[in-house]
Amino acid sequence: MINSHGTNLSPVVTQLTDELSKLPGIGPKTAQRLTYFLIRMPENNALALSEAIKAIKEKIKFCSICHNITEQEICELCSNPSRDQSRICVVEEPLDVMALERTRSFNGVYHVIHGVISPLNGIGPEDLKIQSLIKRVTEESIEELILAMNPNLEGEATSMYIHNLTSDIVAKITRPARGLPAGGDLEYADEITLSRALEGRQEF
């Protein structure tokens, strides 16, 4: 029987290819390659993958305080008494929390706003977890708010928006330094990065 793709592949194979191609960055050809890889994969490995996907949807939720991903009502970072609850680092996505935690140089807590203000895509402040951030800084005693959005136009606009709403409430609002990436060569750095690095220069 010829299916909707114009081939006579098994409907089960077609179904999996179709589902895989819905994932970001996975086009039809990659989806097909993954499907045939899974067909050849040992059964218990394939089942483990399907169980892991099922577990993600069943068990993962968002922390009721910081909106990071967690299996509990309140995540491990927010509930950890050794974390500095008076310093909140605001980030766009849970992956940013993971990246910052890998540095082991920040002992505060986080607030994940799940995206960034993107007017061209119709995404406004009301679509992000900004209101809950405002509530948090209003109700808790926050000494520092670190705005760690990505250094592009939309990240900057989001930082400015949050700054405008919190500058009367939080004494210290900061952002990560901008500049040269470690291991990079000065001659290959672009002008914007170089000028920002020069502006942010510090005493040696």
Partner 1 sequence: MPRPRIYKSEGIIVRQMPLGESDRIVTLITSKGSKIRAVAKGVRKPKGKLSGNVDLLNLISASVARGRNLDVISEAHALKTFRTIKEDLASTSRALYLAELTDIFTVEGDPSESLYNLFINTLEVLESGDSNKMWIRNFELKLLEISGFMIDFFSCIHCRKPLEPHDHLFSRGGGGVLCPTCRIHSPDQLIKLPLNTLKVLRYLIREGVQKSRNLSLTNETLDDLEKVLTEYMKFLAEREIKTLKFMSIN
Q: Does 93 engage in binding with partner 1 (CB under 8 A)?
A: no
Q: Does 161 engage in binding with partner 1 (CB under 8 A)?
A: yes
Mask of contacts with partner 1, 24-63, x by CB under 8 A?
xx--------------------------------------
85 versus 93: smaller Cβ distance to partner 1: 93
Cβ(86)–Cβ(142) under 8 Å? yes
- Taking the complex as a whole, the smallest distance from the CB of residue 166 to partner 1 amounts, in Å, to 14
63 versus 154: smaller Cβ distance to partner 1: 154
Strands (DSSP E) contained in 76-132 are 84-91, 108-112
What is the bridge-based pairing of β-strands 144-147 and 84-91?
A: parallel
Stretch that binds partner 1, among 62-70, 75-83, 108-116, 186-194 (CB under 8 A): 186-194
Nearest to 87 by CA among 131, 137, 157: 137
SS3 call for 2: coil
CA torsion sign, 161 to 165 to 91 to 73? negative
Q: How many CB atoms lie within 10 A of CB 167?
A: 11
Binding site for partner 1 (CB under 8 A): 24-25, 117, 119-122, 124-125, 152-154, 156-157, 160-161, 164, 181, 183-184, 188-193
